[in-house]
Chains A and B, each alone.
Chain A
Amino acid sequence: MNAPNRPELSQDTELPLMQVRGLTRYFGARPGCIDVSFDVFAGEVLAIVGESGSGKSTLLSLISAQLKPDQGAVHYQMRDGVNRNVLELNEAEQRLLMRTDWGFVHQDPAMGLRMGISAGANIGERLMAIGARHYGDIRSAAQSWLTCVEIEPDRIDDLPKAFSGGMRQRLQFARNLVTQPRLIFMDEPTGGLDVSVQARLLDLLRELAANLGLAVIIVTHDLGVARILSHRILVMRRGRVIEQGLTDQVLDDPQEPYTQLLVSSILQA
């Protein structure tokens, strides 16, 4: 309870930014995701939690159009206000969405960054992909986003290889944010980082999401991360969403046996 302050949420009358309906995907006989449905609204942080193998990363791949489902639909309100089934967009349309209105933050920054080009180029690349050509503009945008993610702007010409794990992750945020997306997918963004680095990253993430009014769908196995960042939570087990609701309600008053087990397994620091 007493979650940190969050931005005002949109009104009930507003349409969800994303509507996921009946998403199902099997890998052979093994279920990845079974009949998953939920909504995400603008400015809302939704956490998907569960243990390894629960299907949360599969779900993230499905809703971000990186993996095709066997069944189901992902409706998204495009920037022009038109509601489209993401799975029915052609490849070029999907790519454009991924480069502009969506962001994807990977657990391993090496997957979300190009390690062989400078920090500035990593940020600028996404701008150039949507048509930016003016070198000075791109460089100053890169500089200002570096500052936003708390990286000294004079590191702009350094390679990500020279950055610490936490800095790389922040650079990944900047690379995603430069096109001013409305929805960001995150897969364990604080996994594998030292606790102190994690805390800084979480705080930055919370601020960015609130100040930019971003919708975030974050996959994490860490219930502490979910509590700090998210408004709502989905608990997954064996491919299904077994419980969902207001984050503090699910964590403080869990109804399902599995959720109770997850919550009771947290170590108290």
Chain B
Amino acid sequence: MPGDFEKAMVRVENASKTFVMHLQGGTRLPAVAHARFTAVRGECLVLAGPSGIGKSSLLKMIYGNYRCDSGAIHVHHQGRYIDVAQASARMILRLRLETVGYVSQFLRVMPRVSAFDVVCASAKAQGMNDALARTETAELLDRLHLPKRLWNLPPATFSGGEQQRINIARGFISDHPVLLLDEPTASLDAANCAVVVELIAEKKRAGVAMIGVFHDHEMREKIADRVIDVSQFSAREENCG
């Protein structure tokens, strides 16, 4: 594999983002200015800083959910670097399928699809066979203490914590070399937080590069290999100063 020696999985280079609110008279809301950092294989990088400083926006820019106004976001994909800021819609979809996973705080799923199938489909999307996908789904839902009676129900009516565990299972079951974690433990109890700590450790051993936002200090201390203070990239600070 040509890219095996290359350790940098994500290189954010001078990335900036400003929201222009046309319905509010063109108000400009700077979100991220000149962000610059690298995430390597097998590490968990935590983005820190006060609320509203642009941590989630940065994750969304790496995922291609938010556009990048300037700069570049290089993601190591199949032996080469793809600049998400310039990539076509189809390329971004392929990146998401094969390279970049995302675990958010919120679950958005089809109305009729069961919790089990949501997770199982995520495994199968990357080519895992049905039997193995089902076994791994069951194991992971068990580990995350999701009661069996919920497995075959659509998660729409689940509690916040239950939905979040479906999200975590869906994100961690797949085999993405890059995983973005947007407060995945926000509404979890201690036992389930401990499971997530284990899952993250397993991903590190597998060489996955993770970039996450975790407000909980205890959680952060357990998983972070490096902490990046996002306020240094904040355009708002710049404007105030």
Residues of A that sit less than 8 Å from B by CB: 1-6, 8-9, 12, 41, 44, 199-200, 202-203, 206, 228, 231-232, 245-246, 248-249, 252-253, 255-257, 260-261, 264
Contact = CB atoms under 8 A, between A and B. Distances in A.
B170 to A, nearest CB: 8
Given A249-B66, A260-B22, A261-B23, A199 B111 contact: yes
B93 interface: yes
A6 B102 contact: no
B97 A253 contact: no
Nearest to A229: B110
A261 B23 CA distance: 7
A231 B60 contact: no
A166 B90 CA distance: 32
A248 B63 CA distance: 11
A166 B122 CA distance: 29
Contacts of A9: 90, 93-94, 97
Contact of B111 (A203, A232, A260): A203
Contacts of A8: 94, 97, 125
B65 A1 contact: yes
Contacts of B112: 199-200, 203
A9 to B, nearest CB: 6
Interface of B: 19-23, 60, 63-67, 88-94, 97, 102, 104, 106-113, 121-122, 124-125, 167
Contact of A202 (B23, B110, B121): B110
B64 A2 contact: no
10 contacts: A4-B113, A5-B122, A9-B94, A12-B90, A228-B110, A231-B90, A249-B64, A249-B92, A252-B66, A257-B23
B150 to A, nearest CB: 19
A257 B22 contact: yes
A41 B112 CA distance: 28
Interface centre among A1, A8, A228, A245 (most CB of B within 10 A): A1
B23 A264 contact: yes
Contacts of B90: 9, 12, 41, 44, 231-232
Nearest to B21: A260
B94 A253 contact: no
Interface centre among B21, B108, B122 (most CB of A within 10 A): B108
A260 B27 CA distance: 13
A231 B67 contact: no
Contact of A256 (B22, B60, B110, B113): B22
Contacts of A3: 108
Given A4-B121, A8-B94, A12-B90, 18 more contacts: A1-B65, A2-B109, A6-B97, A8-B125, A199-B110, A200-B111, A203-B113, A231-B93, A249-B65, A249-B66, A252-B65, A253-B60, A255-B67, A260-B22, A260-B23, A261-B22, A261-B23, A264-B23
Given A4-B121, A249-B66, A231 B89 contact: yes
Contact of B102 (A1, A232, A260): A1
A257 B23 CA distance: 7
Contacts of B125: 5-6, 8
Given A203-B110, A246-B64, A5 B23 contact: no
B69 to A, nearest CB: 10
Contacts of B64: 246, 249
Interface centre among B90, B104, B108, B111 (most CB of A within 10 A): B90
A3 B167 CA distance: 12
Contacts of A41: 90
Contact of B110 (A44, A206, A249): A206
A228 B104 CA distance: 17
A6 B98 CA distance: 12
Interface centre among B111, B121, B124 (most CB of A within 10 A): B111
A62 to B, nearest CB: 23
